[in-house]
């Protein structure tokens, strides 16, 4: 099973403690240096930096430039995850990714195109029925620059979050607690709370965290049920990529040169809750039918045992 792949490496508690500190340090501090340097070189950059406002920093640098430097922090974080796993835990990237003999890229692609298609469909349905809420925002050169940055870097950003949350932390917490339900719930809650500084929370209120935590729970469930990160990697990349390229708003984390601009008054409505309570359960059904998922209770709440412990229990 997926969490048990950690047993193939070194699993001392101190290694995970140091690993988490190293990853966060590289991601949040070292990775931020290029952004801070770019701001320092711009007029008004220091005041924007001190304010901590994403909107002000984006205004100083330009939306595409700011997006590049923001995503670059996640590239640093992803490299840190891979190095920590390889050198501190002596674990392979494949074992961090999946319980299968090799990474199943067909699963990544299926999840990506499935959720990407659904996301695009939902967006254009909303534009069709509420055209007054949207403004056509297409500008060829800025959009092409955005597309290059987004296609090249957003999959790295989402992969960093998946490898750190549903990979490194889920495996580490599973080994520590000897069960599956705690790492599932803890990483889902943490995933949601990490978005608490997003501009959307200021506009929509803390109720939006239901969407983020629910999304984290969904990603955790498909990781444990499918015994690997592949479906989560594809889903998360499709989700962020379509959001960045198709619709932007002044109050979102991706306030960029997207195809459309949402000019409606921000309100926490059905569009934020339906995915969690309706669409995600349907996706779980689709995935379970396609990949033959069974034994849900054991895979989501069962014990985590090493091979030696399992053999003793079996005897």
pLDDT, tens digit, for every residue of 104-142? 999 999 999 999 999 999 999 999 999 999 999 999 999
How far apart (Å, rounded) are the C-alpha atoms in residues 250 and 262?
Answer: 8
Distances (CA, A) of 71 to 21, 146, 161, 188, 262: 20, 12, 12, 22, 22
24 Cβ partners below 8 Å, 6+ apart?
none
Whether 252 shows a pLDDT value over 80: the answer reads no
pLDDT > 90? residue 251: no
State residue 136 phi and psi, 5-degree precision: -65, 125
Strand extents, DSSP E, the chain: 134-136, 247-248, 260-262
Strand pairing class (247-248; 260-262):
parallel
Q: What is the spatial distance between Cα 303 and Cα 282, in angstroms, rounded to a whole number?
A: 27
Average pLDDT along the chain: 92
Cα separation, 253 vs 308, in Å, equals 47
pTM, full prediction: 0.94
Nearest-10 crossing angle of helices 170-177, 181-193 = 140
Q: Are 151 and 177 in contact (CB under 8 A)?
A: no
- Beta-carbon contacts of 222 under 8 Å, excluding residues fewer than 6 positions away, are 111, 231, 232, 235, 283, 284, 287
**pLDDT number for residue 256:** 87
User: pLDDT tens digits, residue range 165-195?
Assistant: 999 999 999 999 999 999 999 999 999 998 8
Separation in Å, CA 143 to CA 55, 136, 255, 259 = 19, 12, 12, 7
Average pLDDT for residues 79-88, to the nearest whole number? 98
Q: What pLDDT is stored for residue 266 in this prediction?
A: 80
Compute the chain's Rg from CA coordinates: 20
What's the whole-number mean pLDDT along residues 73-96? 98
Q: Give the closest residue to 133 by CA, choosing from 32, 264, 39.
A: 264
Rounded distance between C-alpha atoms, residue 101 and residue 278, angstroms: 33
φ and ψ at 209, to 5 degrees?
-65, -20
265 falls in which pLDDT band (50, 70, 90)? confident
Q: What is the pLDDT of residue 136?
A: 95
């Amino acid at each position: 099973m997926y969490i048990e792949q950690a047993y193939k490496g070194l699993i001392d508690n101190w290694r995970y403690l140091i690993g988490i500190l190293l990853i966060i340090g590289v991601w949040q501090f070292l990775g931020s240096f290029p952004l801070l340097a770019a701001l320092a070189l711009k007029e008004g950059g220091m005041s924007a930096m001190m304010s901590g406002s994403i909107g002000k920093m984006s205004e100083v640098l330009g939306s595409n430039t700011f997006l590049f430097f923001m995503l670059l922090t996640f590239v640093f974080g992803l490299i840190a995850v891979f190095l920590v796993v390889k050198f501190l835990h002596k674990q392979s990237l494949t074992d961090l990714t999946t319980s299968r003999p090799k990474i199943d890229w067909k699963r990544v692609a299926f999840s990506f195109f499935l959720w990407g298609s659904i996301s695009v469909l939902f967006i254009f349905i909303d534009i069709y029925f509420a055209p007054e809420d949207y403004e056509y925002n297409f500008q060829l050169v800025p959009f092409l620059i955005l597309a290059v940055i987004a296609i090249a870097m957003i999959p790295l950003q989402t992969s960093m979050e998946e490898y750190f949350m549903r990979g490194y932390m889920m495996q580490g917490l599973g080994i520590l607690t000897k069960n599956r339900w705690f790492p599932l719930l803890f990483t889902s809650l943490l995933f949601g709370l990490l978005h608490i500084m997003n501009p959307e929370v200021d506009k929509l209120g803390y109720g939006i965290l239901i969407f983020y935590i629910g999304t984290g729970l969904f990603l955790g469930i498909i990781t444990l049920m499918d015994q690997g990160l592949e479906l989560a990697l594809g889903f998360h990349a499709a989700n962020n990529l379509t959001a960045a390229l198709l619709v932007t708003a002044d109050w979102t984390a991706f306030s960029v040169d997207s195809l459309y601009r949402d000019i409606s008054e921000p309100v926490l409505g059905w569009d934020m809750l339906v995915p969690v309570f309706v669409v995600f359960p349907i996706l779980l059904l689709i995935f379970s039918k396609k990949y033959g998922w069974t034994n849900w209770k054991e895979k989501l709440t069962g014990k985590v045992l090493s091979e030696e412990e399992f053999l003793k229990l079996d005897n």
